[in-house]
Structure 1
Amino acid sequence: MALNDQRRSSTGGFDPWRGQSPAGSERRRLSFNPVAQWDPPVTHEEPPVGVVETSKSKRIAQVAVAAIYCLLAAGPVFGYAAIKPVLVQEGVYRETCTKQELRDGVWVCYEQELRLNLMFTVAAVSTNVCALPVGTVLDRFGPRIASLVGVAFLTLGSLFMAFAAELPFDGYIPGYFFLALGGPFVFISSFQLSNTFPKYSGSILALLTGAFDTSSAIFLGYRLLYQGTNGSFTPKKFFLCYLVVPVFILLAQIFLMPAQSYKTISELVAQVEEEPPSATINGDHRTPGRRRGRESVTSEITALLGPKKADKRVAVEDKRANQSGVYGAMHGKTALQQVLSPWFVLITLFTVVQMLRINYFVATVRTQYTELLHSHSAGVQVNEFFDVALPLGGVIAVPLIGIVLDHTSTPFALALLVGLATLIGAFGVIREMWAAYANVCVFVIYRPLYYTAVSDYSAKVFGFATFGKVYGLVICLAGLFNFTQAALDTLTHRTFGNDPVPVNIILLVTALFVGILLVGFVWRKSYTLSREKLEEEAEDAREVLMPDADEDAVEGTHHNGTA
């Protein structure tokens, strides 16, 4: 979820990064499409909605309702660690266990663990790959249609999960798959609401992102309810009740939400600039009325942005761009040139390894610590702590993300990610309860920081003209590579006798190696780009000063000649 780059996108006309883009994208509509070009809107598309045309109370209601349904539907599948014990207790995939495993009374058998983890792996992969079709639907048909597609997927997912035990085929994997697909359609469609109050666009995006991170608590709430009723509130009852959520989103889209995205500030500014106050229509002079309309739009823009002047905003953003150290490194290049560069290859390798580690830990936290601590009850205790910490970490990390990405360089941010990832890997091989709690605490802060830092890197290095295609490809490839999680499960259970330490060490060493390569490359390029910029500024300064020096020399010669 790309908080930093989305925050800048929502105030396109005042964003110096866009202004410096060779593509001149500051006049173009904000696009969520990872595959399409930055083409002008085609004639059949409806224009974006003007913020000034919607009342303030309605815009407040839209943001509040979006935050609620994102909390309920954006990413509940990432609460898999919380619902997995319920599914195990309900006997899901228990038929795959051997007779010996059943006689031993194991909590979860090998094949059962693989099938359950495959359910989450498919959901995690589809969530990442889904960014491609979501962007296309959103750009072409608008947020309402995109959200309604999400409603359909959420409904299908709920019905499959509710009746999976009664179906003649495996309904759990498609059910969880559809729930995973529905989340991005609903969540990404809500990003454009940051334009409802441009002055607070960052806060709105933080609210929506926080709702997404907290949505993993939905299954935690259900697990607690399941345990509190001694299993009488079955998954079938829960998922039938959950159908209220897609119905709520459907009603909100029909009666409250805009059919098309709100205009960005750049589009409002363009509206003022492109409409001359003295224009006439068919000889009918309407100067006073048009001038009043122009002045009204201008005053609305000022009210929306607040008293802070645009030039001051530009100065602040320009300072942040310069502070990055790598801003503009690949701007102006084609998407193919960017994809073939070390900038792309290294960040993709890093993302692949880290996303695999993150999703593998989410899927196996209980089984890992049951083996590490040699106690099922200790594994349950760590799992329950993780279920609470995961959504809370997403909220707590928001200010940390802002500080790191807005006030430090990109090499520092990447080095911090590598350091935290190494710390998580080190805690993951220590067989102590304190290390388990420490691991969970660092993990839940690292996860949202990692996702946002990767999108921030992509925006700064590759630029917004190709951001959707390049960043979408990074996430898509990383998501597809998550299917190798099954191989990690096989290594853990069969090769290493259920001991998670060897696999954790493999992941630790691989991540550290790739991380060092990435940080080393980016730091070196940052130093090189900084030197090149200083040389360019010095050259520009000489070009400005030399004409004055030549003029003074000519005047001095003239005076000497006359004397």
Structure 2
Amino acid sequence: MDYRQMRQKRFLIAAWAFMECLLFGGLLYGWGSLMFVFKQEGIYAELCDNNGQAAMSAMTNSSSSVTYVTMNNSSEDKTFSDSKFKDCPEQDCKFTLCFTIASALFCASGAALGQINFMFGTRVTRIISMIIFAAGSLMLAFVTKETPWLIFPGLSFLAAGGLPLLVTNTQVSGLFGKGSSSIVGLLCGGFDMSSAVQLVVKIAYESGISRQHSYYFLTALHSLVLVSTFVFLPRDFIVNEDATWTNIGVADDKDVTIELPKKSKEKDDVVDENTEGLKENSYEIQELPTLMSCVRRPLYIIHVVWLCILQLRFYYLIGTLNPYLNRVLNKDDKMVSHFTNMCFYIMMGGILSSFLTGVVYDWQKKCFANSRSSMRQNLMPAVLPLAIASFLAVLLSVLVLIPEPSLLYLIFIIMTLFRSFLYSMAAAFLSAMFPSEYFGVLYGIMIICGGVFGFLQFALFTWAETYVESPLHTDIFLLCLVLVSFLHPLYQWYSCYRAGKKFTI
């Protein structure tokens, strides 16, 4: 299917891309629901008592404190944990380590598969991701109390297999011209909302459907990705035939690369006028910039730092959601289950908030479209949405300092908005500022840097378990850290301010 045919079917292709991101993209973010199921099944429960054998014996022999549920006429039983296992730092530490490793490998795979995408194209990347995803899904299905270690590779593969769907589908935004940022936001919304798949697994588990059957079904459903891989998307990349790349050389800034639409042959006069205008403003038409020149740009580096800081804040909250709820709700198992569900119900609203991020970004582009300074035209539209993401991170960090159950709903709403602005802007910014051919590599490098930085979450969790007030001190540290993220929008604003002064002179 060539570019013109894809343009004609762009809404169908975008809808299918959204469906893929929704069902299979960001299942890692639903870890809180899956962790609850594993705890109910007694995975790593032997760590909760110094005498592990006695603890497991109590769980299997005590009919007064343990409930057995037989599902689908199977001889396999599910064991719901006794209340004495609710406060188990050793078990929480094991699960947090699992999430830390999975999130780090999730980011590392982004760089590896981004390079594969750059070298071999879209189709090869998606086939590899399908194999990885299926392996991870089946490993999570086979997890038992005898083989709990399968959680580590299972969750890691499930995450690594989902990210390439977002990376390869983002190029679909190039089919929509001026609304490209909104499409990127929509895809990121589907990616965010996919955490609800793990919530469905939890609800199905509580309704009598085994975790194993849920993941068998998910593995089979993943075959739908083949449709887009071999029917909609090209073997290599979607190349926008109506655009050419231009490097801006105004006001000593060479960090911005934008895509300008080509003019048709019927509009030669317009082309001549625009060309003359470009000459007057020191614009210089150049060939596609090199990949390394993009990586070395301060604009890209500070964007990576911005993501690293804010992603650590988000990962720490997701990874410690269950211990956090137990602490706030005084270890009330029913309330923890209720608020775990509510968290991921609310996070399903990410489809709207992520699309809103793209709309805000496109709106800002229109606001600065007529600016005399090219710097303002291209950098200023990102300042507001980037600043909103940083502000939401600060607000979230303040709210978690208050151990009040009534604030949990607000925390979940802010967390959903924060995640949407974080990941939508992380992708949309790169898509707008750099060539689409390099998007997979640049996004992968950014994600792997975020993953390496994300290893700090386990150190933070260990710190939070050391003494009584350590959770409070950890959250205060994160609050101070996220304040640094405001440097990104401030850097862009100051660059535009300097460029504007030189332009007027």
Same fold (TM over 0.5): yes
Partner of 2:390: 418
Structure 2 CA distance for partners of 1:67 and 1:520, relative to 1, 3 Å: closer
Structure 1 residues 172-222: Cα deviation after superposition (integer angstroms, max 9, x where no partner): 110111111111223322233345565765554444333222211111111
Q: How do 1:139-150 and structure 2 match up within 5 A?
A: 139-150=118-129
Q: Give 1:98 shift.
A: 2.5
Counterpart pick for 1:387 among 339, 344, 366 = 344
Aligned residues of 1:405 and 1:453 also touching (Cα < 8 A): no
Superposition pairs of residues 115-514 of structure 1, within 5 angstroms:
115-165=94-144, 170-195=149-174, 201=180, 204-229=183-208, 233-250=209-226, 253-254=229-230, 257-266=233-242, 343=299, 346-376=302-332, 377-404=334-361, 406-407=363-364, 409=380, 410-456=382-428, 472-496=444-468, 500-512=471-483, 514=484
Please give the alpha-carbon distance, in whole angstroms, between the structure 2 residues aligned to 1:310 and 1:98: 81
The residue type paired with residue 240 of structure 2 is T
Letter in 2 for 1:419: F
Report the residue type matching 1:249 in the other structure: V
Q: In the TM superposition, what whole-angstrom CA distance separates every residue of 1:397-452 from its partner, at most 9, and x where no partner exists?
A: 42244225641734444433332222111111112223222222111101121223
Q: Give TM-score scaled by structure 1 length.
A: 0.66
Corresponding residue number in structure 1 for 2:377: none
Once the two structures are TM-superposed, the CA of residue 532 in structure 1 deviates from its matched residue by: 1.5
Percent identity reads 23
8 Å Cα contact 1:82/1:384 also seen in 2: yes
1:420–1:66 CA distance, 2 compared to 1 (3 A) = closer
What SS does the corresponding residue of 1:495 show, helix, strand or coil?
A: coil
Displacement after TM superposition at 1:338 (Å): 7.2
Q: Distance in 1 between matches of 2:269 and 2:460?
A: 52
Alpha-carbon separation, structure 2, partners of 1:128 and 1:442: 24
The letter for the 2-side match of 1:245 is L
Unaligned runs of 5+ in 1: 1-48, 270-300, 303-308, 536-563
CA distance in 2, matches of 1:62, 1:119: 35
CA distance in 2, matches of 1:100, 1:127: 35
Does 1:524 find its partner at 2:494? Answer: yes
CA distance, structure 1, for counterparts of residue 241 and residue 269 of structure 2: 11
1:56–1:477 distance in 2 versus 1, CA, 3 Å: closer
Query: C-alpha distance in 2, partners of 1:310/1:163?
Result: 67
- Per-residue CA deviation, residues 144-199 of structure 1 (Å, 9 max, x unaligned), is 22211111111111221111328757211101111111112233222333455657
Amino acid at match of 1:353: I
Aligned to 1:11: none
| Amino acid of the structure 2 residue aligned with 1:354 | L
Mapped to 1, the partners of 2:186 and 2:242 lie a distance apart of 23
Mapped contact 1:214–1:395 kept (Cα < 8 A):
no
- What amino acid sits opposite 2:324 in the alignment? Q
Code of the residue aligned with 2:501 in structure 1: it is R
Q: Is the 8 A contact 2:130 2:161 kept in 1?
A: yes
- Cα distance in structure 2, aligned partners of 1:180 and 1:73: 9
In structure 2, the gaps of 5 or more residues are 59-82, 246-262, 368-379
- The offset of 1:475, in angstroms, is 2.7
Q: Secondary structure at the match of 2:359?
A: helix
Q: Give the counterpart letter for 1:418 in structure 2.
A: S
Distance (Å, rounded) in 1 between the aligned partners of 2:501 and 2:391: 27
1:121 and 1:485 in contact (8 A); partners too: yes
**Is the 8 Å Cα contact of residues 394 and 444 (structure 1) preserved in structure 2?**
no
For 1:485, the aligned partner's letter is Q
Larger radius of gyration, structure 1 or 2? 1
1:94 aligns with 2:65: no
Q: String of CA shifts for 1:284-320, please: whole Å, max 9, x gaps.
A: xxxxxxxxxxxxxxxxx99xxxxxx9979x99xx9xx
CA distance 1:167–1:186, change in 2 (3 Å): farther
CA distance in 2, matches of 1:402, 1:203: 5
**Inter-partner Cα distance in structure 1 for 2:108 and 2:96:** 18
Once residues 91 and 336 of structure 1 are traced to their aligned partners in structure 2, the CA distance between those partners, rounded to angstroms, is 49
Contact 1:366–1:380 at 8 Å: present in 2 too?
A: no
TM-score (normalizing by structure 2): 0.73
Paired residues, number: 433
Query: 1:507, CA displacement in angstroms?
Result: 0.6
Deviations for 1:502-549, whole angstroms, at most 9, x for unmatched residues? Answer: 21111102222x1354455444333212212222xxxxxxxxxxxxxx
Contact persistence 1:355–1:482 (CA under 8 A): yes
Change beyond 3 A, Cα 1:471–1:190: closer
Alpha-carbon distance between aligned partners in 2 of 1:467 and 1:60, rounded to the nearest angstrom: 22
Amino acid at match of 1:51: Y
Structure 1 CA distance for aligned equivalents of residues 465 and 444 of structure 2: 33
2:372 is aligned to none
Partner Cα separation in structure 2 for residue 251 and residue 451 of structure 1: 26
Inter-partner Cα distance in structure 2 for 1:212 and 1:250: 18
Q: Read off the aligned partner of 1:369 and give its amino acid letter.
A: L
Q: Against the structure 1 CA distance between its residues 199 and 86, is the aligned structure 2 distance closer, same or farther, given a 3 Å change threshold?
A: same
Matched residue of 2:202: which SS?
Answer: helix
Matches of 1:209 and 1:522 in 2, distance apart? 23
Residue 496 and residue 469 in structure 1: after superposition, are their counterparts in 2 closer, same or farther (change >3 A)? farther
> Aligned in 2, Cα 1:105/1:95: closer, same or farther, shift over 3 Å?
same
Residue 174 of structure 1 aligns to a residue in which SS?
helix
The whole-number CA distance in structure 2 between the counterparts of 1:344 and 1:263 is: 23
Separation of aligned partners in 1, 2:163 and 2:91: 28
Equivalent position amino acid for 2:140 in 1: M
Kindly state the Cα deviation for residue 90 of structure 1 after the two structures are TM-superposed: 1.1
